[in-house]
Structures are given as C-alpha cells and as structure tokens.
Amino acid sequence: MTTLGAIGATPQPGSATKKAFGNTPEGQPIDLYVLTNRGGTEAAITNYGGAVVSLKVPDRNGKLADVVLGYDTADGYVNDKSYFGAIVGRYGNRIAHAQFVLDGKTCTLAKNNGENSLHGGIKGFNKAVWTAKVLSTKDGQSLELSYLSKDGEEGFPGNLKVSVIYTLTDANALRIEYSATTDKRTVVNLTNHSYFNLAEQGSGDILGHQLMIQADKFTPVDASLIPTGELRDVTGTPFDFRKSTAIGARIDGDDEQLKLGGGYDHNFILRRSSDLRASLAARVVEPTTGRVLEVWTTEPGVQFYTGNFLDGKATGKGGATYPRRSAFCLETQHYPDSPNQPKFPSVVLKPGERYHTITTYRFSVEK
C-alpha cells in the first residue's frame, strides 16, 4: 500500500491512502483510494468508473456503518449493470431513441436500454479508468479524477475533458465537483449513481426512510421512462415529498406513474434559491439509526430511484445481497432526454465554455 498524506498501513484520520484494487479485463491496474476525515468518517473511491465503493458514517451513537451499495472487488465493478456508486456520463439518464440533433446533424448513440440510450451508452464513464490524483484541500481530503472522452466516443461529438473532484470534508460531507470542456459543441450531463441505505448497506429495504424533496413539479414519463415533456404539479400525488414522508408510504398505490416506474424512477424539478449556489435538494432520515443525508446541488433536477431493478442476484460487499428497493438513489442532474426536449434547460456545452456543477452529500444525525 502506498500512503499519501498521513503515515500508516491503515487509514489515519485526515488522510488519504491508495491500494491496488485489481485489473480491468484488458489488464490495466485499478486502484482504491481511502479518504478519512478527522472524525473517522471514511470514503473509499476507485478510479474505475470513479465509483464510491464505501462510505462509512456515524449513527446517533457514533457507530460507523457503510451506507452505500457496492462490491469488494474490481471485478464486481467491471461486471456491474446497476451503476453502483459510479460517475455517469457523458449523458446521465435517458436519451429517447438513442439519438438527437445538434446543429442540424443527427448524433446516433447505442441503444442500451430498449430503444433508448441510458447513462452514456455501452461503455459509459462508469466503465472508464480515470487518472487519479490526491489533493489536500483546506476543508478535507480530495481525490481528483480526470478522463478524456474522445470525439465520437459512444456517438457523442467533441473531445470532452472531464474532471471530477471528490472531497471528504471534516464536517462529514462528500462533495463532488464536476468540470468539463469540449472542442466541439456537445451535450453533457454528469452525475453520481450512489445507492444509499442509511441503516447500512445490505440491511434490508429503504421503505421506512423518511424523505423530503424540494420539488413542486416532476417530469412524468412514458412506458420507456422517457419524459413526456409535461412538468406536472406534485400536489395531491405520491410525488409530493415537500413534507417529509416515508419512501414506502405510497409506493405501491395505483398511481399510473409509479406503475410505469415500478416504484419511483423519476426526475424531480428542484426549487432553487440561486442558479450559481448549491441549494438543498433533498433530505433523508433513517429513523432507527438517526442517520441523516442532505443532498445539496447546483443542478436543476434530481432522479429519485428506489432500486426497482435490483434483483438480489449480485454479490455485494461482505457477501451482502441487494434485493429490490434495498437502496435509493438521488442522482442530481439535468432532466432526462433534454437533448430532444427544447423546453427543458439546455445541456449543450460549447467550445470556450466550462461545464461546472457541484453536488454535496452531507451526513449528520437526528436524536
């Protein structure tokens, strides 16, 4: 093990260590970086897909538990189909019929989700080996991951230089700062696909977690989970999470949208206080342990997904199994299918511009 920062074979508070995590099928080595803050909170991140492999945070009694789903080995990530913990790009979420028109030219992508493109295509950013660099920043330990997505990769135009900086702060937050530049007009929508279970990964379903989402509207979908274009008021629907409500309270009702998603798998339109500064998007409380997760973001939307496609077949960390709805995701993002929906906020990045978004997962406890 190489130690970067503090000395020692096991992670020390306020340190970053690096160890070998295995190889890609092509034989390229993959590493695991463990960031630890002064309170003992720990985030392990691999440069394969930039995935958050584990995140150990305290409960109301100070007991640490790993609150994200994942795998013990690199092979788990190589074979993964659920995007556990990964950086998703170049376009997170769906693009209808795997194509869009940009500057009069049709860009054709791979259909990897029925007729649609999902999460960047067949080999998205979640399957790339990123270049990693440990940084010591003023508020914590950081890992900078860089990746050059070449012109034409998965059908997207332009060489896209991407940087993602993960920072584990001493205030128990995991901040993710995404930046990108391009040499041709392109579309970009980056997110992180962590699956959370605040009781502990592998400990059962998340239906009892209490969720608040700061959204007055959401984007209803069709049968292939593509937004219809409507921005629907959440009032009187199971999508109204403006007051904290158990995730499971309404999930199996006869709402048409919940039936289409097999549960929640929808983009919520965030109420935002400013376009430049991060706003509170969502707050989740796990009542038995008291763990609280707040999601803050500069993004206009968040995909709330209740792990409806998890089937319990993959072997998770420590032999855990992950059945349906054993975790939830809050993927901060631009709205799905924006390249084909002129009324949605634009996802076009031009040469000379810089894509820059920040999402922070803040952990705390409630008594």
Q: Strand pairing partners for 244? A: none
Q: Exactly one of 20, 123, 224, 309 binds ligand GLA (CB under 6 A); which one? A: 309
Distances (CA, A) of 284 to 133, 227, 304, 363: 31, 25, 12, 10
Q: Exactly one of 225, 226, 251, 284 binds ligand GLA (CB under 6 A); which one? A: 225
Instruction: Clarify whether 200 is annotated catalytic.
Output: no
Closer residue to ligand GLA, CB minimum distance, 225 or 292: 225
How far apart (Å, rounded) are the C-alpha atoms in residues 214 and 116? 29
Q: Exactly one of 265, 286, 299, 337 binds ligand GLA (CB under 6 A); which one? A: 265
User: Closest residue (Cβ) to ligand GLA?
Assistant: 305
Q: Strand pairing partners for 133? A: 144
Q: Exactly one of 15, 17, 82, 141 binds ligand GLA (CB under 6 A); which one? A: 82
Distances (CA, A) of 309 to 27, 83, 148, 264, 322: 30, 12, 30, 11, 10
How far apart (Å, rounded) are the C-alpha atoms in residues 140 and 82? 29
Count of residues binding ligand GLA (CB under 6 A)? 11
Q: Strand pairing partners for 55? A: 43
- How near is the Cβ of 264 to ligand GLA at its closest, in Å? 10
Instruction: Clarify whether 119 is annotated catalytic.
Output: no
- How near is the Cβ of 319 to ligand GLA at its closest, in Å? 22
Q: Exactly one of 156, 305, 328, 335 binds ligand GLA (CB under 6 A); which one? A: 305
- How near is the Cβ of 19 to ligand GLA at its closest, in Å? 28
Q: Exactly one of 197, 214, 303, 338 binds ligand GLA (CB under 6 A); which one? A: 303
Closer residue to ligand GLA, CB minimum distance, 159 or 257: 257
Estimate to the nearest angstrom the gap between the alpha carbon of 123 and the chain centroid: 17
What are the φ and ψ backbone dihedral angles of 259, each rounded to 5 degrees? -65, -45
Residues contacting 134, CB < 8 A, separation 6+: 4, 5, 16, 18, 33, 141, 142, 143, 144
- How near is the Cβ of 336 to ligand GLA at its closest, in Å? 7
Going along 227-277, which residue ranges are E strands?
Answer: 232-233, 245-246, 265-270
From 119, 193, 209, 266, the catalytic residue = 193
Query: Does the protein bind ligand GLA through residue 83 (CB under 6 A)?
Result: yes
Closer residue to ligand GLA, CB minimum distance, 56 or 119: 119
Per CB under 6 A, which of residues 329..348 are in contact with ligand GLA? 329, 331
From 153, 154, 200, 331, the catalytic residue = 331
How far apart (Å, rounded) are the C-alpha atoms in residues 128 and 148? 10
**Closest Cα partner for 4 from 150, 143, 99, 195?**
143
Closer residue to ligand GLA, CB minimum distance, 118 or 128: 118
Residues that bind ligand GLA (CB under 6 A): 82-83, 93, 118, 225, 265, 303, 305, 309, 329, 331
**Residues belonging to the active site:** 193, 331
